[in-house]
Amino acid sequence: MQFQPTDDQKAFRETAKRFATERLSPTYQERASGHTFDRALIKEMGALGLIGADLPEEFGGLGESSVTSGLIVEEIAYADFNASYVQLLGSLMGGMVAKHASKDIASEWVPKVVSGDAVIGLGLTEPRGGSDAANLILRAEKSGNGWRLNGEKTSMSFASQADAAVVFARTGDPDGGSRGVSAFFVDLNQEGIKRTHFDDIGTKPVGRGSVFFDDVFVPAENMMAEQDRAFGTIMAGFDYSRALIGLECLGAAQASVDETWAYVQEREAFGAPIVQYQGVSFPLAEAETQLTMMRQLCYYTLDLRDRGLPHTSQAAMCKWYLPKTACEILHQCLILHGHYGYTTDLPHHQRYNDVLGLQIGDGTAQIQKLVIAREKVGRMALQYDKKAKGASK
């Protein structure tokens, strides 16, 4: 077992930490109020090798490990939770395109992701779907040497900012569930596409929103993976992103815990620093314990991925447990700052609002627990579904 990063990994982490401390942390709250993310900052991260370090060298990546990408994500999220979405999407979507798109598309777009010159979004969720992700109605119809897309995708990160997206669409039986779903690489800067952003309580710069497709033509060569069977094939990559999401949440929570330790040593009440009171120090001690355990889970999951070993269950654990626990820790940090913690001067409320969204997006806790149960006992864990359907007839 390897519990310490290599020298190369330490170098990546130090580069990320230095950039995050100097360029991201001082203006985190200022950026958090806007609906777009500064492209110049994205390009700076790309120039430093901080986006998609794990992507193949063939397409401009550095061929580094998943663990290395995790170290970068944690450091960026420590300074600016929203900025770490660039790393998350870079690794997830860049890897998806490198593995499943044509070589021409991968050769054109993955280097742009790595350099920070392009952001690729994920068009999966639809208004009627949510957790029922395979219940898609956005339709792709054959048209000459290609397909035409009609429908809506919603809750898409960087909806109004992404340069392209991997869009899941139904090409087969409307009642076929995950079967009959195909994936397409779509340039979002073309006619027939309309985009909006939501006014969310957190992660505003990530620009979650909807994308509408009105008879949008996509060349046949832009189909990714196998027709009608792309859902299961491509969704396997989400085991990776779930561990990275855990580290995003952990980075934000660790930042608030560190700041709170500093505050309670300076703040005095009843003639002594309040850190001397167990009602203050014990919650922070508990938070440090939780953060340490959660960090091990995330990097263990990424190490399993690097070794080519199954990690679906561990990834689901990362996804449901870390956002929830990070929010609880952030709430405690805010409370320990007393009335001052309730102001917007401090970043704890912003981190809380930013992390909160990941208790919903990218797979709810309920879905992740189903995944864990299925991995443990097989499809027996899902049999209630059939019984419920049978009872309703």
| CATH classification of the domain holding 176 | 2.40.110.10
Q: What is the mean pLDDT of residues 213-225?
A: 97
Residue 55 has which token pair?
Answer: 């992507």
Residue 389: the pLDDT is 40
Domain with residue 261: its CATH number is 1.20.140.10
Q: How far is CA 34 from the centre of its chain?
A: 19
Tally of domains in the chain: 3
Domain end call among 227, 261, 279:
227
Q: How many residues are given for the chain?
A: 393
Task: Return the closest-CA partner of residue 184 out of 201, 197, 171.
Answer: 171
Residue 133: the pLDDT is 61
Q: What is the mean pLDDT of residues 305-316?
A: 97
Question: Domain range holding 218?
Answer: 121-227
Q: Residue 131 pLDDT more than 70?
A: no
SS3 38: coil
Q: Residue 210 pLDDT more than 50?
A: yes
Same domain, 223 and 327: no
Is residue 171 one of the residues assigned to a domain? yes
Same domain, 377 and 264: yes
Q: What is the pLDDT of residues 58-71, one digit of tens each?
A: 999 999 999 999 99
Q: What is the pLDDT of residues 270-283, one digit of tens each?
A: 999 999 999 999 99
Distances (CA, A) of 129 to 51, 134, 135, 241, 389: 30, 8, 6, 20, 18
Comparing 57 with 392, the larger pLDDT belongs to: 57
Q: What is the mean pLDDT of residues 290-318?
A: 97
Residue 1: the pLDDT is 72
Question: Are the C-beta atoms of 164 and 195 separated by less than 8 Å?
Answer: no
Q: Residue 391 pLDDT more than 50?
A: no
Question: Are the C-beta atoms of 69 and 244 separated by less than 8 Å?
Answer: yes
Question: Rounded CA gap, 7 and 18, in Å?
Answer: 16
Q: Residue 257 pLDDT more than 50?
A: yes
Q: Residue 122 pLDDT more than 60?
A: yes
Domain end call among 227, 259, 278:
227
Question: Are the C-beta atoms of 16 and 76 separated by less than 8 Å?
Answer: yes
Same domain, 138 and 258: no
DSSP-assigned letters across all residues of 174-242: TT-TTTTEEEEEEESSSTTEEE-----SS-GGG--EEEEEEEEEEEGGGEESSTTBHHHHHHTTHHHHH
Same domain, 165 and 42: no
Is residue 2 one of the residues assigned to a domain? no
Q: What is the pLDDT of residues 359-368, one digit of tens each?
A: 998 889 999 9
